[in-house]
Structure 1
Amino acid sequence: MAKPNYAFEKRQKELAKKQKQQEKQQKKLATQNEPSRDDVTSQAPRGIAGRDV
């Protein structure tokens, strides 16, 4: 029976953890860069006499 390769398992676990952290960071940055819903609606084009279209 083959003996377990603990170093390989540890490395794989570290890589998975690092990948998860990077995805979380990207998601966090994406939500910060998106304009909020209030900002989008306040920038909507106006019709005649300033009324909403």
Structure 2
Amino acid sequence: MAKTNFQYEKRQRELEKKKKADEKARRKLEAKTTPGGEENETPDEDDAEEAKPE
């Protein structure tokens, strides 16, 4: 029977933890640079409708 590779599993957990931390830092930076935080974001569909000439 093959032995479990605990180092591989640990590395995968570390990579997942780093990925989550990077994502959190990116969201925090976006909220900081955008006035009003995430509430100020508008969907892309609304922007497309406003750009159409009537």
TM-score class, shorter: 0.5 to 0.7
Runs of 4+ with >2 A deviation: none
When normalised by structure 1's length, the TM-score is 0.64
Task: Tell me which structure has the larger Cα radius of gyration.
Answer: 1
Superposition CA RMSD, Å: 1.9
C-alpha distance in 1 between matches for 2:36 and 2:8:
44
Length, aligned pairs only: 38
Paired residue type of 1:11:
R
Structure 1 unmatched runs, 5+: 41-53
Percent identity between matched residues is 47
Residue pairs, 1:1-53, within 5 angstroms: 1-36=1-36
TM-score by length of 2: 0.63
